[in-house]
Structure 1
Amino acid sequence: MLAAGLGSGVLLRSLNLSGILELNLKKAGLLALPPQIGELSQLTKLDVSLSPLSDLPEAIGKLSQLRILFCLGCRFGSVPIVLGTLPALYMLSFKSNKLTSISPAALAPTLEWLILTDNQLTTLPSQLPKGLRKVMLTNNKLRQLPEALVACADLELIRLADNALERLPAGMLTMPKLSWMGLAGNPLLARGGAGFAPLPAPRWVHPDELSFHEQLGAGGGGFVHRATWTCAPGATPVACAVKVFRGAASVTDGDPAHEIDLGEALSHPNVIRVLGACPAPQLGLVLELLEPGEWTELGLPPSFATCTRDTYKAGTAFSLAQVLTTLQGVAAACAHLHAKRFTHGDLYAHNTMIQPRTGEAKVGDFGAAYNYEPLGPSSAPLIERIEVRAFGCMAEELAQRVGLEGTGPIHSASIAAKLTKLTKLIEQCMRPDVAARPSFAAIVATLADI
């Protein structure tokens, strides 16, 4: 892969890149992409992000092998029509541009992963690629979604927070593979009507009460630091973690204020406890401290190849006892959330912390969470069972890693029988018929019997 700060007047031909597979022109300052780009016939990945580009040359249509194109943070007002002709395009990002419209012809039929976060879109095309699996639309101005979206039977993840949606297309909540859906910050979830009590206010923590220490981690929503909190004059400082949020527009899950609003309502032993919130201008959450030596992330985020499914370090293996303990904790947390009509929206192994020795789990990162009570009683069971499929995906990934390298062969008939029961539960959680999936309360009971 080439990463170079090329000026706009430099011709790609002069660099002799004919056989290159990946080209990184991020922050290259290009005012225009030269037509010689079309001569890179083997190119599979192109990144022109953070440049003042507002159009692409027709020659880009010659890139028959191009699978991934990043145009993040440029100046595009529309997606160039020529991109719809690319025969192998799998992933397309126009995050943080100036998009106001998209022609159906601009979206290649082969697209599976589409990122349009932080634009000015009011509508989507009436026709969409049928193979879409992952669509990011947070922070636009969408008032409605096209009925064609429901025809995307492979769609698993969609981010729709901070738009202007007043309703969902008929049939959206029964899409067979939908597992992760973000909706916070839309009128359809407004709690202003009669019968909807306001969410409890957070415990605000003044910055002067906190002392920050080393960074413990980072993710799409922000950075996590070790800290100490002196909650009152003369009080003994309390060890904690502080999640410092990125800017609202750049967060794919939605405005960090949504996560802050929910924090006080999400108390459960298998949920990372929220102690308080930091006010603007630097929004943050004060969380219970999970010591890095005692707790670790269950998995890693999806890769370009896996799209919607988490990844794991090479050689990762679990005992069946660890897996069952982890799944029992996650299911119990989700049962608690959904009893209060909350959905996590981003239930993944990479958002779950575990104690490696025991498998004890705590679910975190509620950036995509929301209360769905305003959608009405008929929608509630379906919203829960959409998340049940996400749980099924996690359970499938963990079950696949039982008895791998480091655990030895499975000889016990008892363990084999338990794995069979777990596999059956996973199949139930991933049924195409959304209403036929079990509730989280039922999953907790089933796991207790395995």
Structure 2
Amino acid sequence: MTMLERLRAGELVGTQRLDLSAGLAEFPPEIFGLADTLEVLNLSGNALSSLPADLHRLHRLRVLFCSDNRFTELPEALGRCERLEMVGFKANRIERVATASLPPALRWLILTDNRIETLPEALGQRPRLQKLMLAGNRLRALPASMAAGSGALELLRISANRFEALPDGLAQLPRLSWLAFAGNPFDETPEARTVQAQATAAIDWHRLALGPRLGEGASGVIHQADWQQPDGSLRPVAVKRFKGAVTSDGWPHSEMAACLGAGGHPNLIPVLGRIVGHPEGVEGLVLSLVDPAFTSLAGPPSLESCTRDVYPADARWSTGTALAMARGIASAVVQLHARGILHGDLYAHNILWNGQGDCLLGDFGAASFLPRDDEDRSQALQRIEVRAFGCLLEELLAHCDPTDATATDLAGMTRLKSRCLAAEPTDRPLFADIVRSLGA
């Protein structure tokens, strides 16, 4: 039986989460029979254009996904759901977002890849809002209310919109840590300059033989491959082929530009060249193949953690290992900022490590480009990323083995963490100071 058939047969009583993708054009009324237990409802990948006005009958509903449907407006029924805190309507046709559609407990809002031109002032009046994903719309401004009312906001994606300038007030938000704004008119010139400044090798697609898939993200697919050298020998590499569509972070071409502009560094994955000659015109990069001993330091945020990474229950390391990782990542970010690149997604789940303190920072999907002609604004944006590093330090310290702690190192990292997390952004150090504090 399909999930829809089981629902209609009454077999799902007591369910807390329901995933239903069955080409639905209408909301199945049988879902209301789960009202006493249902907390997570995923209706993505259907043909829905509306939700019932009495959706609030699902009185325990906390999470609602309706991505890849046919909505042209964010349903006002959402605003009457008292417990609803996570809303995802990615890749619809939404043009209108009304005040009435914003739940009072809203914490995480995903409206990526729609047709939105304006947002209501009420968005800045949702005090629990931590995560706001708006890439791939038609926005030219954010609600003025956000500058004063979004004190809890930690992650913001406004890439691939129509902003002529970075919205005022973002750099002053006390908790903002992860910001992506590439692919807007004001960011196009810095991005183009970054690409033009790089003399990256062109690698003929026909000299690459793809092997097993290593992974897939929002922006592209990574394969192991053999690269044929001029002497006929084969060099093992990794190949990332980019998708053309906008992602939750922005345009793939912005990610490619950041990768090309990052330069060589011991804590970055080396870019060997840019693919040319693909028969379908697909863009891509050839990267050094990472030793399989390197694995992700943590998993991405969960529905519960929202903006914070999820670590294995047994994650433990020495203070010395934590210090080594902090030094390596801070050193890599110093170089990125010096080259005019804001990583935008400085998270443990984007860090590979080998269990001994050696680490690599990856995933430039949320990278943006710092203004070269405005040092004050550039430093203000860098201090947003400093808070992200403070969050990383906090997590590294939380998993340090207390029986293997060097008191001096532990105290120094703890003080640095507090400085990086300062509520007043101007009180945070820049990364050059961070590197000095870590003794790198």
Distance 1:362 1:196, change over 3 A: closer
Partner deviation per Cα, 1:179-207 (whole Å, 9 max, x = no partner): 01001100121318999994436433232
Question: Do the aligned partners of residues 94 and 199 (structure 1) sit closer, same or farther apart at CA in structure 2, a change above 3 Å counting?
Answer: farther
Which secondary structure state, in structure 1, belongs to the residue aligned with residue 381 of structure 2? helix
Matching residue of 2:418: 427
Q: Matched residues in 1 for 2:326 and 2:93: separation?
A: 42
Give the Cα–Cα distance (whole angstroms) in 1 for the partners of residues 391 and 373 of structure 2.
Answer: 25
Aligned to 1:385: 383
Letter in 2 for 1:341: G
Equivalence for 1:255: 251
Structure 1 partner of 2:23:
29
Decide whether aligned partners of structure 1 residues 316 and 13 sit closer, same or farther in structure 2, where only a CA change above 3 A counts: same
1:197–1:15 distance in 2 versus 1, CA, 3 Å: closer
Q: In the aligned structure 1, how far is the partner of 2:16 from the partner of 2:361?
A: 39
8 Å CA contact 1:200–1:264 kept in 2: the answer is: yes
Q: Does 1:443 pair with 2:437? A: no
In structure 1, C-alpha distance between the alignment counterparts of 2:165 and 2:2, rounded to whole Å? 45
| Inter-partner Cα distance in structure 2 for 1:288 and 1:12 | 49
CA contact (8 A) 1:72 1:93 kept: yes
> Counterpart of 1:276?
273
Distance, in Å, in 1 between the alignment partners of 2:282 and 2:91 is 21
Alignment of 1:221-300 (within 5 A): 221-232=219-230, 234-249=231-246, 251-267=247-263, 268-279=265-276, 281-292=281-292, 294-300=293-299
Are the counterparts in 2 of residues 200 and 261 from structure 1 also a CA contact under 8 Å? Answer: no
Deviations 1:99-140 (A, max 9, x none): 011001101011111111111111111211221111111111
Distance change in 2, residues 1:236/1:16 (3 Å): closer
Distance 1:82 1:100 in 2: 16
Range moving further from structure 2, 266-275 or 107-116: 266-275
Structure 1 distance, partners of 2:196, 2:117, is 29
Aligned counterparts of 2:6 and 2:224: Cα–Cα separation in 1: 48
1:54–1:76 contact (8 Å) kept in structure 2 = yes
RMSD (Å), alpha carbons: 2.3
Q: What SS does structure 1 have at the residue aligned with 2:54?
A: helix
Q: Normalising to structure 2: TM-score of the pair? A: 0.93
The runs of 5 or more residues in structure 1 that have no matched partner are none
Corresponding letter in the other structure for 1:20: T
Tell whether 2:344 aligns with 1:345.
yes
- Secondary structure of 1:379's aligned partner: helix
| Counterparts of 1:434 and 1:181, CA distance in 2 | 14
Per the TM alignment, residue 11 of structure 1 is displaced from its structure 2 partner at its CA by 9.9
CA contact (8 A) 2:309 2:347 kept: yes
Q: CA distance change for structure 1 residues 428 and 145 in 2, over 3 Å: closer, same or farther?
A: same
Q: 1:84 aligns with which of 76, 79, 86?
A: 79
Q: For the residues of structure 2 that align with 1:43 and 1:193, how far apart are their CA atoms?
A: 45
3-state SS of paired residue (1:331): helix
The answer (yes or no) to whether the contact 1:263–1:274 under 8 Å persists in 2 is: yes
Q: CA deviation at 1:246?
A: 3.4
Q: Find the partner of 2:213 among 215, 222, 226.
A: 215
Counterpart residue number, 1:72: 67
Distance between the aligned counterparts of 1:193 and 1:44, measured in 2?
42
SS at match of 2:375: coil
Q: Does 1:50 align with 2:45?
A: yes
Aligned 8 A contact 2:191 2:257 in 1: no
Q: For residue 401 of structure 1, report the CA deviation from its aligned partner.
A: 0.3
1:16-62 CA-partner distances (Å, limit 9, x unpaired): 54432111112x12110133433322210101111110001123121
1:108 aligns with 2:103: yes
- Contact kept, 8 Å, 2:372 with 2:378, in 1: the verdict is no
C-alpha distance in 1 between matches for 2:251 and 2:63: 27
- Once residues 187 and 367 of structure 1 are traced to their aligned partners in structure 2, the CA distance between those partners, rounded to angstroms, is 18
TM-superposed CA distance for 1:247, in Å, is: 3.8
Relative to structure 1, is the Cα distance of residues 194 and 61 closer, same or farther in structure 2, using a 3 angstrom cutoff?
A: closer
Measured against aligned partners, the alpha-carbon deviations of 1:253-307 in whole angstroms (never above 9, x if no partner) come to: 1111112223332122211111112356322221111121x32222211111111
| Percent of aligned pairs with the same amino acid | 39
Residues 391-439 of structure 1: per-residue CA shift (max 9 Å, x gap): 11111111100016xxxx24x6xx1332122111001000011111011
| Contact 2:222–2:240, Cα closer than 8 Å, also in 1 | yes
Residue in 2 that maps onto 1:142: 139
Q: Distance in 2 between matches of 1:303 and 1:193?
A: 32
- 2:195–2:261: 8 Å Cα contact kept in structure 1? no
2:61–2:81 CA contact under 8 A, matched in 1: yes
